[in-house]
Chain A
Amino acid sequence: DGGITQSPKYLFRKEGQNVTLSCEQNLNHDAMYWYRQDPGQGLRLIYYSQIVNDFQKGDIAEGYSVSREKKESFPLTVTSAQKNPTAFYLCASSIRTGNVKNSPLHFGNGTRLTVT
């Protein structure tokens, strides 16, 4: 079945370490997104990519980095510069129809990152 796979499901790191969250999709979607969710909150956009080798900052990109070397993959690195990295991270994808406004979004199951 087609879908979006995020790994790992739970991740623990020490403060000061960079950590990379994996996101792979086999839906043949052009656009991919990373969101952050804090307890009791909505989703906030970190980065998004509409095409391979291109990505744009979202609303809270500071302290994060991404790459989009392959259509299927959009890994997110949480760097030591991110002041409050403990959160639930969600990856999503959508068909790029030439206008991202018209594309339903599909999500992975998320990665819970805890930094101590």
Chain B
Amino acid sequence: GIQVEQSPPDLILQEGANSTLRCNFSDSVNNLQWFHQNPWGQLINLFYIPSGTKQNGRLSATTVATERYSLLYISSSQTTDSGVYFCAVVANAGNNRKLIWGLGTSLAVNP
């Protein structure tokens, strides 16, 4: 089945810094989503982005489907950005409609 790899696994930033999180996937996809899980466990859908670029405030995401990767950009990071960022995909091939999840990037933003 499709594999999803996220990097880096851990990231520590000072408040105000910018960062780029990466999600690589091993096969073509027609569904890719980025999620943020805060330290209390709440999961929020950030982007639904199987291709192209989207922006929402300080966050933006780009998926290059032909090269099988997606990037999540966080600009001017804040302590509230801390938590785990997950990438999840659904493969184009086959009848499996389930989201396949990466293991996440754990981000800590220090004041």
Contacts and interface: CB of A to CB of B under 8 A. Distances in A.
B31 A48 contact: no
Interface stretch (B16-24, B57-65, B66-74, B98-106): B98-106
Chain B contact-residue range equals 20 to 34
Nearest to B4: A42
A42 B43 contact: no
Contact of A102 (B31, B88, B98, B104): B31
Given A43-B86, A112-B41, A102 B101 contact: no
Contacts of A101: 30-31, 90, 97
B42 A100 contact: no
A13 to B, nearest CB: 19
A92 B86 CA distance: 15
Nearest to A88: B41
Contact of B43 (A44, A90, A100): A90
Interface stretch (A18-26, A69-77, A78-86, A103-111): A103-111
Contact of B99 (A88, A105, A106): A105
Given A45-B98, A100-B90, A105-B88, 17 more contacts: A42-B86, A42-B101, A42-B102, A42-B104, A43-B86, A100-B97, A101-B30, A102-B31, A104-B48, A105-B35, A105-B45, A107-B42, A107-B45, A109-B41, A110-B41, A110-B42, A110-B43
28 contacts: A37-B41, A41-B103, A42-B86, A42-B101, A42-B104, A43-B86, A43-B88, A43-B101, A44-B101, A45-B99, A48-B98, A58-B98, A99-B97, A100-B90, A100-B97, A101-B31, A101-B90, A101-B97, A102-B30, A102-B31, A104-B48, A105-B35, A106-B45, A107-B35, A107-B45, A109-B40, A109-B42, A112-B41
